[in-house]
Amino acid sequence: MSRPRNRRRVNQASSPRHDLWAPVEELAVASSIRPPADPAALVRSLGDPPLGRHSVPAGNSVAAVVERASMLAAALAASAGLLAGPDDEATPDGGH
């Protein structure tokens, strides 16, 4: 009789376990945040979703959601005083 296939082999190495609630390093404080000029560019670069005749409207809906999320993120940054002004220059690494 063969061994059940859904059982793990005894000699098979198990994956290491990580503590999800372990303390981590404190994040650096963001100096300023600049909203992207075109928040949905990445989504549009992937093309429309493969949904037949609904692919174009679905792609437009996904882009609209991404643009709205970007707008809300900018509003949140502004409320925290982190929104970059028009005179702020970005550094080459993307920071401000």
pLDDT digits over 13-64, tens only? 677 888 889 898 998 887 888 999 999 999 999 998 999 999 999 999 999 9
- The per-residue b/e assignment along 19-56, b for 16 or more CB within 10 angstroms, e otherwise, is eeeeeeeeeeeeeebbeeeebbeebeeeebeeeeeeee
- Domain extent for 79: 34-45+56-83
The helix (H) or strand (E) run that includes residue 63 is: helix 55-79
Residue 39 maps to a domain: yes
* Beta strands in 1-96, from DSSP E residues, in sequence order: none
The whole-model pTM stands at: 0.61
Is there a domain that residue 70 lies in?
Answer: yes
- Domain assignment present for 89: no
Total domains in the chain come to 1
